[in-house]
Amino acid sequence: MATLKELAVREDRLTGGHRMCPGCGAPIIVRQALMAVKEPVVVVSATGCLEVSTTIFPYSAWKVPFLHSAFENSAATMSGVEAAYTSLKKQGKITGDTKFIAFGGDGGTYDIGFQSLSGAMERGHDMLYICYDNQAYMNTSVQRSGATPRGASTTTEPAGKVKQGKVMTRKDLTECMVAHNIPYAAQTIVGDWRDLTKKVEKAMSIKGPKFINVLQPCQLGWGYRMDLTIELGKLAADTCFWPLYEVENGKYTLSYTPKEKKPLAEFLKPQNRFRHLFKPENQKLLEELQADVDRKWELLKKKCDCFGTEK
């Protein structure tokens, strides 16, 4: 595993001068992920904040071959790139070892790009798909997605007289990917560079389809002070709202167990999207959300015990 000093020697593959919001977590994911790859890499990104803000005409922040696909087909586009590469390599027309990474936001991954991702994973393409999950459609002004957690206020399901934010529970995409029986599926956050780069490094060493779901704090859509991006990522892990784990050929491993599991409220409090949950009349809802986190955390620990790596 590369140390920070080793990573810092490698070229930054995303330049400054992109137009993401100050403090945005998405370019942090991209910088760290691409730093973790030693080989040449081709990147595809679905439409979303990341793609839109890094490729505003006539500029591009990408220092690697980069393709913009449509909102729904980042994984399908990358399948084609990888298949063409594999064929050319077989024909002896190219040599070397090139890696393939597709990025998509949660909207472009959990929702509209879901079948494209599912197909690419099932066909077994040698690629890594990274979902940068900011839990809503941010680029079009914070509409709710399948990744938006219950209770979060969005522009399409705002907290008010009728509703207290999103009614439904979020989809567990990482587990959907585990169910695809791919060799590697993992969850990580913006806020633990070591965990993120380690997981990308590991994914690169495995042949076949890989998936990493990264929770990405978004100061605009979540409504928090822009310098808190890293802290919020850490709080998501410390409250077990977003457990860090990996599943390698069906074997579950926890990457991080908080010394002391913090109350969910510590993660929710700094964010405007959850502000209404702290009204006295929403106490029951807040308790239900905590219970849901607890239940899922216990379930994950059980999976690690039952289907974990032998010790």
Partner 1 sequence: MAQELGWKELPEGDALKAGTAADFHTGDWRSKRPIKDDKTCINCLFCYIYCPDSAVKVKDGKVIEIDYNYCKGCGICENVCPVKPVKAIKMVSER
Query: What is the x/- site pattern for partner 1, positions 227-246, by CB under 8 A?
Result: xxxxx---------------
Q: Is 137 in the site for ligand TPP (CB under 6 A)?
A: yes
- The span from the CA of 105 to the CA of 25, in Å, is 12
Q: Which of 27, 108, 113, 209 binds partner 1 (CB under 8 A)?
A: 27
Stretch that binds ligand SF4, among 117-125, 154-162, 212-220, 253-261 (CB under 6 A): 212-220
31 binds partner 1 per the rule CB under 8 A = yes
138: contact with ligand TPP by CB under 6 A: yes
Among 159, 220, 247, 293, binds ligand SF4 (CB under 6 A): 220
134 vs 219 by CB, closer to ligand TPP = 134
Of 79 and 271, which CB lies nearer to ligand SF4 in the complex structure?
271
Nearer to Mg ion, 105 or 113 (CB): 105
Nearest approach in angstroms of CB 145 to ligand TPP is: 6
Q: Which of 32, 73, 79, 134 binds Mg ion (CB under 5 A)?
A: 134
Tokens of 184: 């590697």
Judged by CB under 6 A, the chain residues 75 through 134 that form the site for ligand SF4 are 134
Cα separation values, 211 from 38, 127, 162, 309, Å: 19, 9, 37, 19
Q: Is 53 in the site for ligand SF4 (CB under 6 A)?
A: yes
Number of chain residues interacting with ligand SF4 (CB under 6 A)? 13
Residue 74 interacts with ligand TPP (CB under 6 A): yes or no: no
Q: Which amino acid is present at 219?
A: Q
Which residue reads 């079948």 in tokens? 115
# of chain residues touching partner 1 (CB under 8 A): 42
Q: Which does 294 bind (CB under 5 to 8 A by kind): partner 1, ligand TPP, Mg ion, none?
A: none
CB of 105 to Mg ion, least distance (A): 4
25 makes contact with ligand TPP (CB under 6 A): no
Given 2, 52, 55, 288, the residue binding partner 1 (CB under 8 A)? 55
Strands 41-45 and 99-105: parallel
**Residue 187, amino acid:** Q
Q: How far is the CB of 196 from ligand SF4 (least distance, A)?
A: 17
| Footprint of ligand SF4 on 230-289 (CB under 6 A) | none
Q: Whole-number minimum distance, CB 216 to ligand SF4, in Å?
A: 7
Long-range contacts (CB closer than 8 Å, 24 or more residues apart) made by 37-40: 37/99, 37/101, 37/200, 37/201, 37/204, 38/10, 38/204, 39/97, 39/98, 39/99, 39/204, 40/64, 40/96, 40/97, 40/98, 40/99
Residues lying near ligand TPP in the complex (CB under 6 A)? 47-50, 71-72, 105-108, 134, 137-140, 145
Residues lying near Mg ion in the complex (CB under 5 A)? 105-106, 134, 138
